[in-house]
């Protein structure tokens, strides 16, 4: 799902440029970064941190937004984490 989220970001120039600016990566280093599990966690975190972005991504993949959030928690090794303190 993180790779799908990265493709989603890359499909829109404005979204992609904002993501690259926030990560400090350039397009040339993105392929190598995408092999790093921590980077993929960051992609999901980026998408889930912005509700409108999350809803657009989930809608494009016909997913429940909670599925995206669960995938992010699973990537972080916290599949049962509900975010409650």
**Residue 59 has what pLDDT?**
96
* Mean pLDDT of all residues belonging to the chain: 88
Residues in contact with 50: Cβ distance below 8 Å, sequence separation at least 6, in sequence order? none
**Measured distance CA(79)–CA(35) in Å, rounded:** 21
Phi, psi of 14 (to 5 degrees): -65, -45
Q: Give the integer Cα–Cα distance in Å for 85 and 61.
A: 30
- Tens-digit pLDDT profile for residues 38-76: 898 999 999 999 999 999 999 999 999 999 989 888 887
């Amino acid at each position: 799902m993180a790779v799908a989220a990265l493709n989603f970001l890359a499909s829109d120039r404005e979204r992609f440029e904002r993501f690259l600016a926030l990560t400090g990566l350039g397009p040339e280093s993105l392929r190598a970064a995408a092999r790093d599990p921590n980077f993929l966690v960051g992609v999901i975190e980026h998408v889930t941190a912005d509700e409108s972005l999350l809803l657009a991504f989930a809608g494009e993949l016909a997913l429940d937004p909670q599925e995206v959030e669960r995938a992010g928690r699973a990537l972080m090794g916290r599949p049962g984490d509900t975010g409650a303190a």
